[in-house]
A and B are shown apart, each in its own frame.
Chain A
């Protein structure tokens, strides 16, 4: 059976040999012939395997392997769909053993022709070795078996050595040949030798040599194919030079590159290599911040060029990034300068133009960046419909592409895509129009999914974790802004749900105290800003805030010292008390504050928080707590009280102010609250009304005596208004502070 199969295969090989002889030289590059040769190589290797089983010393094996290798190397150099399978076969069948490794020493050449002939044969072998090198590198990257990896590495070392030798020898021979070029010799041959020498300079890591020759040839052969090839080598040389240089040198080389790239674009406007030069010019102009120039360079590219679109997308993304950076630096509430607005509009225009006609096949990481940038700009200017149009684009929306695994991108791009979609989904919550307003539950679900995807894409490394936290923080701020400006209670509630979801994610995304504290504090602060019309939303926020802050204290209890910030625990209790107070849990809030105050009585922030809590407790209807708000509570065993109340606070501050004038505002605030509490208590307790109103008015008078300017005009106004209300309640003429 084995013999029969071997005979069949041998028959096939004979047939292949016969057909191969009939191939004409001009047919060798046709796809049919290339496909035939791929099949022939497969058949030959099958035959080799059979011969090896029979007799591994068979002399035909080596020859057949060498033939296969040469055929594959030849067809790999021809562009087409066969290149990948040919590379794979080359890797699969082994590369090292049959490699041409017989490189002789540099011969003594007598004239130009001899030198060029010797150089060309080495150049040809060099090309093959470079293919072998990249194939081996690919194979090594994919290989998991350590033994095989070692074998490939050894082969690679051999190939690298050969490449170095070939580069050195062919370079030397071309240089010798150039010196021997005869008067009246063939110019085309001379220029070809010069071009090859430039290419070898590039390979040998001598970019200046490549530029020196490449620029010269491109200028003396402007418009010619060899000139273009030489220009491409020079351009690559510049690329290498720039990538190896320090920042200062990079600028110098870039300014040298610019006129050359401009020359390339002007001389070979239609050539595909020119796109590389134009791309370089666009990058240089962008680096120099010259957007108009960058756009002008893009416009020079041939119409319908895919590269033009891609450069437009790059430029737009760059403009968008600059826009967001500059916007971030603006002071809160500051008006956007006209230049920034035009940068934003230019970003929209350029990205839209760059995305025109783009299909799924054109989408790469940079296109994703451009789409994300565009969506974020649209969201920032409230053009939600345009933003949703891209987010819901069936072919090009980044998140669905990532979910379908049709696209592999780096972590940053991935996270940026989820973040943009998250931002858009949250914006949908605040949208009252169309489907977005009606399907808020579905949107919340989508937010949950996106948050989970963001967390997953962040991975477990510290960089990813930092990035994740930064994203959550920035999105949370955007939601906070939306809550502030939303008019409908329903929308406020949905946005609050979104914010809670996000803050919880922030808290669980990090083990750092600061991050978790930020999440709890953020919810508490947002809740504090809401008025009575948003009580449900407020409740949601304060409850979740309290849970998060409570969780921090529990973690500290489990792992003392986890809160690594001075007075961190105290700050947590202040905000926890704030949340509990907002939730109506007054006793629990006081309990939290007392825990610290029993040990650190003089903590002013906590004393203020405790007085505010008793005051709010009194406001809630339990008027007896107004007394504690004023005079404090809980005996400290030393004749004083653990909680001082507004009166106690103001007394302490009155003395402390002499040493530290910055306490003046706190003192005035305490004095104001003394009168306020008395006034509110008077309103709630008819029996003591007159007495309490009189006290309230007298306290204002005392404050004025202690501090005639009342701490400044703003405070003066506040006290004046309060006094007028007191006077009104007393049935007096509301003359306020103007009464003597």
Chain B
């Protein structure tokens, strides 16, 4: 009896590595989580054997992958990242020791890169260091299911330090994805890069490409709204300030104001138009709206603070102007808005 029990235990120990990978989980954006053994991962597709039957999922359908035997801190970190609590995410990740399963080590490395990137984009870290970390994580795992999101983040980091050439490179990688919503995202981001560089025809081309996309999912519709704002900014930069303002006011009425990035962009664009028309009071109000209501998009918030530092003295609030400048320096020390002369 005792002998039989011992042999069963040995058998279990031998079988343990196999059993562990059988409990990988692929969480889907829509639908039931698939649990089994992940057979392959590419930037476009993940294959998992569920009870021995292979199932394939496009990476754009996956919300997250939790590897078997993964320390719980990793998933905690993912949740903290989603809630924009990057410090807590960093703490959780620091608790994770080296794992036998290399997939987990790569995931941790990637998540650390993401946290560093998000923190840098929020003004809480150095974008160059973050770019180094994330790039190294992506290079170590070129077939990662995070490839496109990683490239997008790399593009964002490049934008935050004013390297539009690098940003174009990364966003172009995103545009290679076989998924329409990622193509739409890339078009928007590339349009934005061109807009920032005042290459208005290029920007228009990208935004119009996005506007012509047939997809009607929520994310693409949101990107279309952002592209509409982008096109309106092109109009404004071409001197059609009044028409642009009318369009922006219309967008305020027809869009969901819980989308902070969209509304920050609209408000900043309004500020741009009002300032160009010499209506400094209205311009100050528009940028204040971004500052007070829509400050979760760091680059747009930094832009609003910078503009406020210029415009508030023009409405007899010089001290408030200095305060805005100080907040920009303190909150977003690495932002390129600090370096504008």
Contact = CB atoms under 8 A, between A and B. Distances in A.
Contacts of B109: none
A174 B284 CA distance: 21
Interface in B78-130: 83-85
Interface in A198-255: 201, 208-209, 211-213, 215-216, 219-220, 245-246, 249, 252-253
Contacts of B286: 212
Contact of A216 (B279, B289, B316): B289
A256 B84 contact: no
Given A183-B258, A190-B258, A208-B285, A219 B292 contact: no
Interface in A172-212: 175, 178-181, 183, 185, 187, 190, 194, 197, 201, 208-209, 211-212
Contact of B282 (A111, A246, A256): A256
A110 interface: yes
A179 B296 contact: yes
Contact of A209 (B258, B292, B295): B292
Nearest to A221: B257
Nearest to A198: B292
A194 B289 CA distance: 11
A187 B292 CA distance: 17
Interface string B261-293: 000000000000000000101101110110011
Contact of A194 (B84, B293, B295, B316): B293
A215 B83 CA distance: 29
A252 B293 contact: no
Contact of B292 (A212, A249, A252): A212
Contact of B293 (A110, A185, A187, A216): A216
B252 interface: yes
Contact of B253 (A178, A213, A220): A220
A253 B83 contact: no
Contact of A185 (B253, B258, B279, B289): B258
B326 to A, nearest CB: 16
B272 to A, nearest CB: 16
B296 A209 contact: no
B19 interface: no
A510 to B, nearest CB: 43
B284 A208 contact: yes
Interface in B119-157: none
Contacts of A216: 252, 257, 289, 293
Nearest to A185: B258
A197 B316 contact: no
Nearest to A245: B316
Nearest to A216: B289
B315 interface: yes
Contacts of A194: 293
Given A180-B83, A212-B288, A256-B282, A249 B293 contact: no
B271 to A, nearest CB: 11
B84 A180 contact: yes
Contact of A253 (B258, B281, B295): B281
A219 B270 CA distance: 15
A212 B289 contact: yes
A338 B224 CA distance: 61
Interface residues of B, number: 23
B292 A256 contact: no
Contacts of A179: 84, 260, 295-296
A187 B295 CA distance: 18
Contacts of B281: 252-253, 256
A245 B281 CA distance: 12
Interface residues of A, number: 29
Interface string A615-635: 000000000000000000000
A175 B292 contact: yes
A140 to B, nearest CB: 31
A238 B285 CA distance: 12
Contacts of A256: 279, 281-282
A175 B253 contact: no
Contacts of A211: 285
Nearest to B83: A111
Contacts of B252: 216, 219-220
B292 A201 contact: yes
A262 to B, nearest CB: 15
Nearest to A237: B285
B117 to A, nearest CB: 18
Contacts of B282: 256
A219 B83 CA distance: 29
Contacts of A246: 316
Nearest to A220: B257
A579 B253 CA distance: 81
Interface string A540-566: 000000000000000000000000000
A175 B83 contact: no
Which residue among A175, A179, A194, A253 has the maximum number of chain B CB atoms within 10 Å of its CB?
A179
A420 to B, nearest CB: 42
B330 to A, nearest CB: 15
Contacts of B257: 216, 220
B315 A249 contact: yes
Interface in A69-118: 110-111
A178 B289 CA distance: 12
A208 B83 contact: no
Nearest to A111: B83
A183 to B, nearest CB: 7
A347 B153 CA distance: 69
Contact of B289 (A110, A175, A213, A245): A213
A190 B315 CA distance: 30
Interface string A256-277: 1000000000000000000000
Contacts of B83: 110-111, 180
A260 B296 CA distance: 28
Contacts of A183: 258
A219 B266 CA distance: 15
A253 B257 CA distance: 26
Nearest to A186: B258
Nearest to B297: A179
B138 to A, nearest CB: 26
B288 A208 contact: yes
A30 B200 CA distance: 64
Most chain B CB neighbours (cut-off 10 Å) among A111, A185, A209, A219: A209
A448 to B, nearest CB: 54
Nearest to B308: A208
B295 A215 contact: no
A154 B257 CA distance: 45
B286 to A, nearest CB: 8
B316 to A, nearest CB: 6
Nearest to B281: A256
A249 B316 contact: yes
A181 B256 CA distance: 13
Contacts of A175: 292, 295
Contacts of A181: 258, 260
Contacts of B295: 175, 178-179
Contacts of A197: 292-293
A175 B260 CA distance: 13
Interface string A49-69: 000000000000000000000
Contacts of A220: 252-253, 257
A256 B84 CA distance: 37
B81 to A, nearest CB: 13
15 contacts: A111-B83, A178-B292, A178-B296, A190-B258, A197-B292, A197-B293, A208-B284, A208-B285, A208-B315, A215-B285, A219-B253, A220-B253, A246-B316, A253-B281, A256-B281
6 nearest A-B residue pairs (beta carbon): A212-B288, A179-B296, A212-B285, A212-B289, A256-B281, A216-B289
Given A187-B258, A197-B293, A256-B279, 14 more contacts: A190-B258, A197-B292, A208-B284, A208-B317, A209-B292, A212-B286, A212-B293, A213-B293, A216-B252, A216-B257, A216-B289, A220-B252, A220-B253, A256-B281
Interface of B: 83-85, 252-253, 257-258, 260, 279, 281-282, 284-286, 288-289, 292-293, 295-296, 315-317
